[in-house]
Amino acid sequence: MNTTPPPAPPGAETIDFGYEQVLRQDKAQRVRGVFESVADKYDVMNDLMSMGIHRLWKRFLFSQTGLRPGQRALDVAGGTGDIAIGLAKQVGPKGRVVLSDINGAMLAHGRDRVIDAGLVGTIACTVANAERLPFPDQSFDAVTIAFGLRNVTDKQGALCDMRRVLKPGGQLLVLEFSKPVAPGLAPVYDAYSFNVLPKLGQWVANDAASYQYLAESIRMHPDQETLLGMFQQAGLDGCRYHNLTGGIVALHRGWRY
């Protein structure tokens, strides 16, 4: 975020990086830079930005996994490990959870948290790209990705690959920022996102630009119905979504039958 590359040449394939258009092959590196910059303050900023409500959103995700002791789960773009730890409590000591992230700096924090929680025997940590998961077909009873899909370059490809690694009967759960649907909420949310979040980022993480990107990336992410269609296009069944906090966040769910 600290250096701005030259504009894409005419005719080059580009993709959104927030409101900026960048070369498609450069987006992953730009996103990696964002998270390397904020990794040390990521958890603190989550609490501050959401006023702690992100914990309730994640608690709802856990309530919908249907995981049982002894099963296997994958958390994609799992960052600092809070989702993986929650999944580990559901599958128990005889189960297995894989915490994956493309960003080594974020994953290092996740690994430290797993060690502190005494869950090294249950949770494995691995660097992985959501679009090309290094796992065999039909490996997991549930796959989760929380607040990570909007940063993926090929979202449709990632959904297809997450379905690939699901066992028959397994569920994909995507928790992500979405489009506010409660009356009057959108302008208030926009004002908060663009005026408060970058300032918080500057004060706490010494990085306003990364949190400006956060606000922009949320607006560029598919809305609830569009993402639902992407789930269906990926071959998932029984697809549905739940709006949380007036649609600021949505949990999308789909199964591999």
Tens digit of pLDDT for each residue in 145-167? Answer: 999 999 999 999 999 999 999 99
> What is 38-181+214-256's CATH number?
3.40.50.150
What pTM did the predictor assign? 0.92
Confidence (pLDDT) at 118 = 97
The whole-angstrom separation of Cα 76 and Cα 235 is: 19
Provide the phi-psi class of 113: left if phi over 0, else alpha when psi is between -120 and 50, else beta: alpha
Q: What is the largest CA-CA distance in the chain?
A: 55
The two three-digit tokens of residue 118, written as one number? 């005494």
Is there a contact between 241 and 227 (Cβ–Cβ < 8 Å)? yes
Is there a contact between 145 and 75 (Cβ–Cβ < 8 Å)? yes
Q: Which residue has the tokens 């569920």?
A: 171
- Residue type, position 38, single letter: V
Task: Specify the DSSP element, H or E, that contains 250.
Answer: strand 249-256
Is there a contact between 138 and 163 (Cβ–Cβ < 8 Å)? no
Confidence (pLDDT) at 220 = 96
CA angle 135, 141, 146 (to 5 degrees): 80
Tens digit of pLDDT for each residue in 85-103? Answer: 999 999 999 999 999 999 9
Q: What is the DSSP letter of 8?
A: P
Task: Specify the DSSP element, H or E, that contains 176.
Answer: strand 166-177
Where do the structural domains in the chain lie, given as residue ranges?
38-181+214-256
Contacts of 9 (CB under 8 A, 6+ apart): none
User: How does the average pLDDT of the chain come out, rounded?
Assistant: 93
DSSP one-letter string for 118-168: T-TTTEEEEE-BTTB--S-TT-EEEEEEES-GGG-S-HHHHHHHHHHTEEE
* Mean pLDDT confidence for 113-134: 97
Please determine, for residue 3, whether its predicted confidence score (pLDDT) is greater than 50: no
